[in-house]
Amino acid sequence: MDLRLLSSFLAVAEEGHFGRAAARLFLSPPAVTQHVRRLETDLGTPLFHRNPVSLTPAGERLAVHARMLLAAANAALEDVTQAAEAARAVTRPLRVGIMGHGSAELTPAAINAYRRARPEVPVEIRQLDYTEHVSALVGDRVDVAFVRPAPDDERIVSDVLTTEQRIVVVPARSPLADARHTGASLSDVADLPFFQLPEHTPRVFTEYLYFGGPPRRGTPTALTPQEVLTGVVTGGAAGSGIKSFARYYGWPGAVFVPVLDAPWESTHLAVRADDANPEIRIFRALTQALARNPVSRPAN
């Protein structure tokens, strides 16, 4: 049975008037009249007395069933709508931000573990530059972020994932390049021409880059590891990082030198402190578990 016909019939029954029923349904009076006549034809009996409009005995019985049928149809529609909204919420992508190479081999291991655990949730990978150490999360551009060092912002919480020796990257022609195997000291790297960072780069990241000292002026400006290495091999600039940087960015003409007396630095998984998204909790738990049981990685 066409539910539109039942809706028109019930509106006339409740309003006691074809015109008012039409206005209530945002239909024309002839359309409502046609709906009622089609029902009467299908059922083979009058449903209304005309002039004045009132229900016949058959119409009274149909009104009872019509209310139940329309209520059930509305409930079914609401249930399906809610299920669809829930499905859309589940399939919202989890946006993973990665600064540089993230936490080395742990980063792809965590992403792949999450994909196996939650295959129905799309994962979007977004590369972060050095100025997005905090802003990508605060600006809701990513849901989780592999960064270093720990963000200094009360809106963000982070978990330590890996801890590594510090290194500097210099051109092969630099006098410091000879220390690639023996290592250098903080005093050896104090005057290196480290690349510049934009003024809006978080302070904690500039302190990390410059080993806790004041920002130095150098050329060129760099926002990504690729830009750092380009500046190193073409402009004689210098960069700093952690030991695994050398495994991921082995550019010809760039030499990686351990800084023996620099404090080791940790990589972090950062999330918004107030984010209740259950998918973030799942990703965070999987990553923490992997960090406690490190994935194998090549020696260097």
Contact assessment for residue 260 and residue 168, using Cβ atoms and an 8 Å cutoff: no
Half-sphere exposure of 116 (CA within 13 A, CB side): 7
Rounded Cα distance, 114 and 286, in Å = 7
Express each pLDDT in 113-163 by its tens digit: 999 999 999 999 999 999 998 999 999 999 999 999 999 999 999 999 999
Contact assessment for residue 191 and residue 261, using Cβ atoms and an 8 Å cutoff: no
- Cis omega (within 30 of 0) on the bond before 57? no
Are 177 and 194 within one domain?
A: yes
Are 157 and 277 within one domain?
A: yes
Mean pLDDT, rounded, for 186-215: 87
Q: For residue 24, what are the domain limits?
A: 3-89
Percent of the chain with pLDDT over 90: 73
Give pTM, 2 decimals: 0.69
The confidence band for 212, taking pLDDT boundaries of 50, 70 and 90, is confident
Q: Tell me, what CATH number does 235's domain have?
A: 3.40.190.10
Scan for tokens 């090549």, then name that residue: 298
Are 85 and 45 within one domain?
A: yes
What's at 83, amino acid-wise? Answer: A
Mean of pLDDT over the chain: 91
Express each pLDDT in 251-276 by its tens digit: 999 999 999 999 999 999 999 999 99
| Sign of the C-alpha dihedral computed for residues 93, 97, 101 and 103 taken in this order | negative
Q: What is the separation of C-alpha 122 from the centre of its chain, rounded to a whole number of angstroms? A: 10
Are 272 and 238 within one domain?
A: no
pLDDT surpasses 50 at 300: no
